[in-house]
Amino acid sequence: MGESDKATLTKLELQIMQVIWKRGASSVSAVQEGLEQQLAYTTVQTMLNILQRKGKLKRKLHGRAYEYSATVSETKALSHAVRDLVDRMFGGSSEELVMSLIKSRQIDAEQIARLSRKLDEEGGDK
pLDDT digits (tens, 9 = 90+) for 12-53: 999 999 999 999 999 999 999 999 989 999 999 999 999 999
Domain span including residue 122: 93-126
Asked if residue 61 is part of any domain, the answer here is yes
Kindly state whether residue 84 falls inside one of the protein's structural domains: no
Evaluate if residue 1 carries a pLDDT over 80: no
Within 13 Å and on the Cβ side, how many CA atoms surround 11?
Answer: 2
Give the model confidence (pLDDT) of 33-42 as tens digits.
999 989 999 9
Separation between Cα atoms, residue 15 and residue 13, nearest integer Å: 5
**CATH number for the domain including 26?**
1.10.10.10
Cα separation, 77 vs 81, whole angstroms: 6
